[in-house]
Amino acid sequence: MIFDLIAKRRSIFPVQYNDKPISKETLEKIVEAANWAPTHKKTEPWRFKVLTGKKKDEMGAFLSQKYQAVDPKPKQVTIKKLEDNAVRSAAAIAICMQRDPMESLPEWEEIAAVSMAVQNMWLCCTELGIGCYWASPGLIKFMGEFFDLNEGEKCLGFLYMGYYDGEVESSSRTPIAEKVEWLD
């Protein structure tokens, strides 16, 4: 049931992933689900770059090297994490947004549409037993140096993905009654 799937969705981090690969067919199903997200004025602003194998590892190395180049006091733990997130993942999807060239709607609406597309992917991953984690490091502003981004396209983060062993911790939320005002 969809309500159970929504409540079960969690961030599962690359350090938790095992070595099982994710098939191209499975990745195609996941990105196809993203394509059915709501989109105002049908701009369909989501763009994805699916990285596996060597290219995924190259992205991790790029992020690690860029961090060392731009941070005056880089931390060793961050250097390693940026590289390891990519290496430990079976796949990484660069989450990008193509801005409507006519700017026919506010940018936040296109970001919201991309976010809903990512939620669709995340729910599919949950259903398939694939862990994922949306990372949005400050370094995303440099991704035009790694990817060929189109005019008006920008990177919003990465969805790291991998199968994992064990159970996922349950989570809780404060009651919805504290966040809703009913007006008659």
Q: In 3-state terms, what secondary structure has residue 157?
A: strand
Burial annotation 138-163 (CB, 10 A radius, 16+ → b, else e): ebbebbeebbebeeebbbbbbbbbbb
User: Are 96 and 48 in contact, with CB atoms under 8 Å apart?
Assistant: yes
Q: How far, in Å, CA of 168 to CA of 150, rounded? A: 38
Residues 6+ apart with CB under 8 A from 39: 45, 113
Residue 12 phi, psi dihedral angles, 5° rounding: -120, 120
- The annotation places the binding site for FMN at 9-11, 40, 134-136
Packed helices 107-128 and 24-34: angle between N→C axes, nearest 10 degrees: 140
- The annotation places the binding site at 9-11, 40, 134-136
End-to-end Cα distance, the chain: 30
